[in-house]
Amino acid sequence: MKSFLKKSALVLCGLLLSIIIIGQFFPQTERTAASPVVAEKVLVPGGQSVGVKMDVRGVLIVGLEEIEGKSGEKVNPGLLSGLQIGDIIMAINGTEVYRADEVQSIVNEAKGTVRLKVKRNDSIINVEVDPVESGEDGLYKLGVWVKDKTAGIGTLTYYDPSNSTFGALGHGIVDPETGAILSVETGLLLESQVQEVQEGKDGEPGEIRGIFYHSDDPLGSLEKNSSYGVFGLAYHPMESPLYDQPLAVGTREQVELGDAYILSTLSNNEIKRFDIEIEKIEDQDSPADKSMVIRVTDEELLEESGGIVQGMSGSPIIQNDRIIGAVTHVFVNDPQRGYGIFIEWMLEESNLVEK
């Protein structure tokens, strides 16, 4: 399994390699003149290892290179036209592109200047590029390396029985070269089996290595990839082997310093509870991915993995019998500690997924 992460002060601990919630965050039942009755939001907690397979919307530029033309002169047409690593090519000469091979095909049919519709961050720009005829193989080239697919391992955070939606990872799937959040064209949530857990050490985060299986019977469709997780629609109801009933959602105001636990799957392929301590809570009034600092205190987890490792992101955080968040990052120089995101921010993002 390939890693999509590079060493840094913080490392996303999820992938190696983005729902309409009926009612408001806490849906309210029918009002009466005497007193309102409010029903708590409830979710089925996750913790199982899952595979994410995703086709990128458009094709992502992950590299720029010089092309040696027939004259022997080397030139990078993409760079000269202002293209950048991280740009997503949405269309060429008015034709939408979804696969890397489509870019090459359209450019060679044109044999001249091409007009690109490009997504850069949150903006759409138009770029004209003059391809170079390669002296090596005679193909017209833009001088860009592109990709259109990605896949990896993470952890399911929750399943919402009220509308069959799910959330996982707690952070977005990003391209390792560019750091760009990849837009979903199509995607699937698959069952995953943990094969090996590599222990994390100071300066070197560990990772969960696994394989996809039952790919012909996916768990659900992936509809959205964002900074706060991946979200989609489950094909069948999901159950927890640890809980007979869904758990209530905890708001950020209900999160407390002190003891809590996470649900995660290691080499035994069983969802287990692992003790943690919430050391710091951020005062956040708007969505952000680093909502709390957590520290692993569970001896079993420390012995097997050294703490938080890549592949555990999305592991639900539970405190006082409420789902309050999910694991998102590990501290590279201290694998016993990491960040978590408030579950509220994940649920807000899942509102944007359309049935």
Domain boundary among 79, 113, 142: 142
Pair 255, 163 in one domain: yes
- Quick check: is 61 in a domain? no
pLDDT at 215: 65
The DSSP code for 180 is: P
Confirm whether pTM is higher than 0.75: no
pLDDT at 338: 95
Kindly tell me the sign of the dihedral angle through the C-alpha atoms of 79, 17, 18, 9.
negative
Active site residue 313: yes
Across all residues in the chain, what is the average pLDDT?
Answer: 83
Can you give the three-state secondary structure of 73-137, one letter per residue? CEECHHHHCCCCCCCEEEEECCEECCCHHHHHHHHHHHCCCEEEEEEECCEEEEEEECCEEECCC
Give 329's strand partners: 12, 339
For range 268-291, the mean pLDDT: 94
CA distance 241 to 6: 34
Active site residue 137: no
For range 5-34, the mean pLDDT: 41
- The model's confidence at residue 335, banded by pLDDT at 50, 70 and 90, is very high
For range 298-314, the mean pLDDT: 92
Pair 98, 200 in one domain: no
State the catalytic residue, choosing from 298, 305, 315, 350: 298
| pLDDT tens-place string over residues 130-177 | 999 888 888 899 988 887 777 788 999 999 999 999 999 999 888 766
Owning domain of residue 109: 66-142
Pairing of strands 88-92, 114-120: antiparallel
Pair 137, 157 in one domain: no
Q: What percent of the chain has pLDDT over 70?
A: 86
CATH code of the domain containing 113: 2.30.42.10
Active site residue 162: no
Question: CB of 115 within 8 A of CB of 94?
Answer: yes
Burial class (CB in 10 A: 0-12, 13-18, 19+), 36: exposed
Residue 143 corresponds to which amino acid? G
Domain boundary among 108, 142, 176: 142
- The model's confidence at residue 337, banded by pLDDT at 50, 70 and 90, is very high
Pair 157, 265 in one domain: yes
- Quick check: is 252 in a domain? yes
State the catalytic residue, choosing from 81, 226, 313, 315: 313
Pair 78, 35 in one domain: no
State the catalytic residue, choosing from 171, 226, 305, 315: 171
- Quick check: is 175 in a domain? yes
Pair 52, 76 in one domain: no
207: which 2 tokens?
Answer: 């990772």
- The model's confidence at residue 183, banded by pLDDT at 50, 70 and 90, is confident
CATH code of the domain containing 223: 2.40.10.120
Nearest CA among 338, 9, 337, 14 for reference residue 203: 9
pLDDT at 1: 39
Q: What percent of the chain has pLDDT over 90?
A: 48
| pLDDT tens-place string over residues 199-230 | 777 777 777 777 776 667 899 999 999 899 99
Pair 317, 195 in one domain: yes
- The model's confidence at residue 13, banded by pLDDT at 50, 70 and 90, is low
Pair 136, 155 in one domain: no
pLDDT at 18: 32
Is residue 15 pLDDT above 80, yes or no? no
Into how many domains does the chain fold? 2
Pair 184, 96 in one domain: no
Pair 46, 167 in one domain: yes
Is residue 44 pLDDT above 50, yes or no? yes
CA distance 13 to 200: 11
Question: CB of 126 within 8 A of CB of 117?
Answer: yes
